[in-house]
Structure 1
Amino acid sequence: MKNDLTNASLDQWIDRHLAEEPPRSKSLVMTIFGDAIVPHGGLAWLGSLIELLAPFGVNDRLLRTSVFRLAQEGWLVSQRDGRRSHYTITPEAAQRFARAFRRVYAAPHVHWHGSWTFVLGTNGLSAAERTTLRKELLWEGYSVVAPGIAGHPAGDAEALDDLLGRLDMRGKVYVVQAAQLPGVQGKPLADLIAEGWDLREVAGGYERFIERFAPVRSLLGGEVSPRQAFIVRTLLIHAYRRVQLHDPQLPVELLPEPWPGAAAYELARELYLLTYAAAEEYVVAALRREAPDVAGAGAAFFERFGGLH
């Protein structure tokens, strides 16, 4: 009886969440690819995608439109085999895709070593190139700290080099690392945080995530079906990803205290641990209905959130 009540309550929470915050289908396809399909080889037949998206109210027509647009944008590539078609992430998008999802599952423990990464010397670029570079740097968490200068206190060199490569801008801008000059009483570099980022929106996003998903803890105490576990895990990662990928990933020493991102990560980790195994049953069953030889999740899957036990 207790399990029946738990399942009914969990179904009510799922229905309420989907009614109040229905996920956009195209974004949801990306979440399911990254969280559920990539660990099993990254390929999904259309029939399996239809089955995986159906619990979220995404019908056949809407799914076809979403994957078509993602293919147009260079994220997915499709192949046909007779009347059937399957989708995979394009080689060009795979590295960027993998980096974004690794970030989702990683603990927010970036530390500051006292230096900044600056991208400058954009005067030689065309107006269109400057606009594109600025947009991409902002997406990577950089801030425009002065005209023509973008900076970050914990810049990821690999991600920045990949960004410049994608934009064909290697060798066109200066990329430098700078630290406070000893013996000179300048303004502390740490003060650039307040000038460069307004963290209130990001903090608010984390707080709303916690408010929305904290009640799920008690609803996962009993037996949960694979379908329910898959829905909760997907909604969890979809919501967390949306907030976390807008987080500039500043070093913990430069964040306000208490920072809700830390609590949001712990909640996401806890709920993922409670749902991942049962959810995998649902994912594997859906994928193998169209491709019986689909492999189990790879080793990298079990490294998520510091290790799945």
Structure 2
Amino acid sequence: MKRLSSSEWIAAFLALEPPRHKSLVMTLCGDAMAPHGGGFWLGSMIELLAPLGVNDRLVRTSVFRLVQEGWLVASREGRRSRYTLEPRALPRFERANRRIYAPPGLDWNGRWTLVLAPNGSIDAELRGLLRKELQWEGYAMLAPGMMAHPAPDRDSLREILQRCEARDKVFVCEADELPGVGSRPLPQLVGDGWDLSGVVADYRHFIEGFAPLAALLEHKGELTPQDAFAIRSLLIHAYRRVQLHDPMLPVALLPQPWPGSEAYALAKTIYLQTWALAEEHVLAMLRREDEATPDADAAFYERFGGLRR
């Protein structure tokens, strides 16, 4: 069987699973723009996305909507438009990056974190906002007014409560099993609170789609910076979509073998195979509009356990 070239793989992937344009712009903001100061000229984003099948009209529409939603801030210099990451959105990008680039398999001390909002303590609007934000962070609603997670990121929880103006309106506590009373084991809450079947299916789909690419890249002599950028962007976009639905539970509470571990290893392999050439392309496009674009920051080189410079 003829082995696909990298450009042929990109074309086949885009034909089979075309990404949503606004979501793809968000992926680039986190993966490619944030390490270089978080700012970009519209022309740079248009050039970067063109090989991924996104025309300038769709880029403009996507960026405009991200400004409206509070993810980006717009400014103008003559006829040119420049965008930067909205400072209030930075913690959310940082939370997403921790999920994407850090390995799964949290240690667990057997305790659960509970967020309690008794009836009447908060209004319906705040209750709905908190539920949405905490569910995105992996919490499950175990009962009305009670959300729980066995191993949450405390900094993320603090940021969510502060941003939602709920810090002095809800109760946050920890709980563990009371020995000797004959209750159900707390780990069984996972089955009651989370349906992981969809996450498992999404991870397996990701593995099926990208495992052949890892093998192809072992023979990447013809890989260009533009193709490396396209592959890195599609990889992180697809992996990020799965991660958004993963509650990030401790490995001790997950069904084994957990496909998230295999998916992370695969994403890491492909990222390591493409990141350096992709960076050449990113910098070339950004510096075409702004020669002062900085090199990637130190945090960028910590992704996936460390990128060798």
| Band of TM-score, shorter chain | over 0.9
- Whether 1:69 and 2:65 are equivalent positions in the alignment is yes
Q: Where does residue 158 of structure 2 map in the other structure? A: 161
Structure 1 pair 73/122, CA: closer, same or farther in 2 (3 Å)? Answer: farther
Q: How does 1:88-237 map to 2 (within 5 A)?
A: 88-123=84-119, 124-220=121-217, 221-223=219-221, 224-237=223-236
- Whether 1:20 and 2:16 are equivalent positions in the alignment is yes
Note the C-alpha offset of 1:83. 1.2
Query: Which segment is superposed worse, 142-151 or 63-72?
Result: 142-151
Q: Where does residue 298 of structure 1 map in the other structure? A: 297
Query: Which segment is superposed worse, 228-237 or 290-299?
Result: 290-299
Q: Is the contact between residue 287 and residue 294 of structure 1 (CA under 8 Å) also seen in structure 2?
A: yes
Note the C-alpha offset of 1:131. 1.8
TM-score between the two structures when normalised by the length of structure 1: 0.96
Q: Is the contact between residue 40 and residue 294 of structure 1 (CA under 8 Å) also seen in structure 2?
A: yes
Q: Where does residue 284 of structure 1 map in the other structure? A: 283
What letter matches 1:192 in structure 2?
L
* d(CA) in 1 for partners of 2:209, 2:203: 10
Q: Where does residue 50 of structure 1 map in the other structure? A: 46
Q: Secondary structure at the match of 1:294?
A: coil
Query: Which segment is superposed worse, 235-244 or 36-45?
Result: 36-45
Note the C-alpha offset of 1:164. 1.1
> Any idea what the Cα deviations from partners look like across 1:172-204, whole Å, max 9, x if unmatched?
111110111133221111110111111010011
- Whether 1:35 and 2:31 are equivalent positions in the alignment is yes
> Any idea what the Cα deviations from partners look like across 1:278-306, whole Å, max 9, x if unmatched?
00110000000000121111111111000
Structure 1 pair 157/222, CA: closer, same or farther in 2 (3 Å)? Answer: closer
What letter matches 2:24 in structure 1?
L
What letter matches 1:52 in structure 2?
L
Query: Which segment is superposed worse, 95-104 or 26-35?
Result: 95-104
Q: Secondary structure at the match of 1:288?
A: helix
> Any idea what the Cα deviations from partners look like across 1:50-96, whole Å, max 9, x if unmatched?
11111111111111111100000000001111111111110110111
* d(CA) in 2 for partners of 1:162, 1:86: 28
> Any idea what the Cα deviations from partners look like across 1:242-301, whole Å, max 9, x if unmatched?
001210000000000000000000000000000000001100000000001211111111
Unmatched segments (≥5 aa) in structure 2: none
What letter matches 1:172 in structure 2?
K
Q: Is the contact between residue 31 and residue 234 of structure 1 (CA under 8 Å) also seen in structure 2?
A: yes
* d(CA) in 2 for partners of 1:206, 1:121: 33
What letter matches 2:93 in structure 1?
F
* d(CA) in 2 for partners of 1:100, 1:27: 13
Q: Is the contact between residue 77 and residue 88 of structure 1 (CA under 8 Å) also seen in structure 2?
A: yes
> Any idea what the Cα deviations from partners look like across 1:103-148, whole Å, max 9, x if unmatched?
2000002111010000113311112222222122111100111222
Q: Structure 1: which 4+ aligned runs deviate by more than 3 Å?
A: none
Q: Secondary structure at the match of 1:137?
A: helix
Count, aligned residues:
304
Q: What is the root-mean-square deviation in Å for CA atoms of aligned residues?
A: 1.2
* d(CA) in 2 for partners of 1:153, 1:10: 41
Query: Which segment is superposed worse, 44-53 or 129-138?
Result: 129-138
What letter matches 1:13 in structure 2?
W
Identical pairs, percent: 59
* d(CA) in 1 for partners of 2:118, 2:33: 39
